[in-house]
Amino acid sequence: MLNVLFSAAPKDWDKYRDAIVTALAGAGLETDLRRDHAAENVDYIVYAPSGATLDFTPFTRCKAVLSLWAGVETIITNTTLTQPLARMVDPGMTAGMVEYVCGHVLRHHLGMDRDILRRDTNWQPHDPPLAQDRPVTILGLGELGLAAAQALASLGFAVTGWSRTAKSAPGLRCLHGTDGLWQALTGAQIVVLLLPDTGPTRNILNPETLALTATGAVIINPGRGVLIDDAALLAALDSGQIGHATLDVFRSEPLPPDHAYWAHPHVTVTPHIASGTRPRTAAEVIADNIRRGETGEPFLHLVGRERGY
């Protein structure tokens, strides 16, 4: 019998319990999933920062900590965590992110905010450009970024993907490093941010990099709030260098009611809904990693502490 500790908010227990139990049984694992195992008896921890576990030292027999979230920036600095840490790479989360990104890229590409007519709107027919004539840049080519980039490319968009280290993917222009970042942003009409929160990625959109984009470019950020220098983005919106920003993540959440983004006419705020973990598919990922731990196979989606993801 494997003892699995669920360390997350009470609302998450109600949300995930049945799905995880079903997935563990489906993987042929005999487990006891609880929120109150004694630390010395725990074999695996299903973890979210909203849970009560802050000190991992007592978990002396724990084989892995399995995050419910894709982002792990709040846990990798915990010096008591010596166990392997796996981030969540959930097929349901990936599908949801692709839908959010494609939906908002198409919204801005087609000018839907302008063209959904009201009675008092002037009748102004026009021909939107084709996707092939719309340069889109995706910053971040991890699981989510690559899936979104490939989906947009399949719709005909001219997609450039950028990552910190070299990557390649069929049908995509892939760039990396500092020089690649400047190339990727130069002339981009739509920029999508899907990078992790690390030292080098914070404020990656700043006065210098925002100025590289095409005049009137659109920024879509479902990645991390810290990727954007907020003051620089607001200045670029006011000057017209950036035409619109659709933002799903922020440095402080919920976004404070007096934040300038709420009132800006060229900002769309969504409440961190781009894509959450889906209980059924996430539970299958957790169960597979526990199965791997028990059969001696490598864990999936292990976090590299030195790189931050």
The residues that are catalytic are: 224, 272
Closest C-alpha to 139, from 156, 157, 163, 158 = 163
Pair 247, 229: CB distance under 8 Å: no
C-alpha dihedral sign at 233, 234, 236, 240: positive
Closest C-alpha to 91, from 307, 277, 293, 221 = 277
Residue with tokens 């949300």: 15
Query: Cα–Cα distances in Å, from 112 out to 100, 106, 109, 119, 156?
Result: 15, 8, 8, 16, 18
Closest C-alpha to 200, from 149, 242, 140, 251 = 140
CA angle, residues 59, 60, 62, in degrees to nearest 5:
65
CA angle, residues 38, 41, 46, in degrees to nearest 5:
80
Q: What is the DSSP string of 59-91?
A: -TT--EEEESSS--TTTTT-TT--S-EE----H
